[in-house]
A = this chain, B = another copy of it.
Amino acid sequence: MVPSAPFPDQARTLGALLRAPYRKLAERLYAGLAAGGFPEIRPAHSAVFRHIAPEGSRLTDLAEQAELTKQSMAYLVGYLEEHGYVSLHPDPNDGRAKQVRLTRRGQAFIAALLKASAAVEDGLAAALGATKLKQLRDLLEQADAALADDQLG
């Protein structure tokens, strides 16, 4: 029962295989963005940017979507507000609730992230070949659909 090595990375589980390139991709993107004028943003902040709606999102909804506690999300949002990426407003539908909106700087960050991501994918297409990268994307979508299926064994 004693594993001979720490688990999932060495065991090459599918989870470890998905996670490794994700982490490397994120490190590349955030290092590039730090050098490109957004030094305050860490990968952890993507929990906000990934889920925020164009018209703004409630703090509680962001926490739920990111599967974070309200406190953790409030901490991330507070940091981003302090650095000018989001602004906080009373929720138009519920004055006691807070709505989080992207500032122009937050929008600029998202645009830069998408651009940086496209650049890394171009590099990957050159390294692996465009066909393989397309195959990888297709297979990831198929695996995702299968994993969403309640019938999966």
Report yes or no: B8 in contact with A46, Cβ–Cβ below 8 A. yes
Report yes or no: A137 in contact with B17, Cβ–Cβ below 8 A. yes
A95 touches B (CB below 8 Å): no
- Which B residues touch A51, using CB under 8 A? 6
- Chain A: number of interface residues, binned into ranges: 35 or more
Among A54, A104, A147, A149, the one with the most B-chain Cβ atoms within 10 Å of its Cβ is A147
Assuming A136-B143, A143-B124, A147-B24, is B117 touching A54 (CB within 8 A)? no
Report yes or no: B111 in contact with A3, Cβ–Cβ below 8 A. yes
Report yes or no: B25 in contact with A14, Cβ–Cβ below 8 A. yes
Task: Determine, out of A33-41, A83-91, A127-135, the stretch whose residues face the partner at the interface.
Answer: A127-135
Report yes or no: A144 in contact with B24, Cβ–Cβ below 8 A. yes
Number of copies: 2
Report yes or no: B117 in contact with A14, Cβ–Cβ below 8 A. yes
- Which B residues touch A54, using CB under 8 A? 2-6
Among A4, A7, A123, A144, the one with the most B-chain Cβ atoms within 10 Å of its Cβ is A7
Using a CB-CB cutoff of 8 Å, which residues 1-50 of chain A contact chain B?
1-9, 11-15, 17-22, 24-26, 28-29, 46, 49-50
Report yes or no: A135 in contact with B137, Cβ–Cβ below 8 A. no
The 10 nearest A-B residue pairs measured at CB: A123-B153, A24-B147, A127-B146, A21-B144, A136-B139, A18-B22, A17-B140, A13-B117, A123-B152, A20-B144
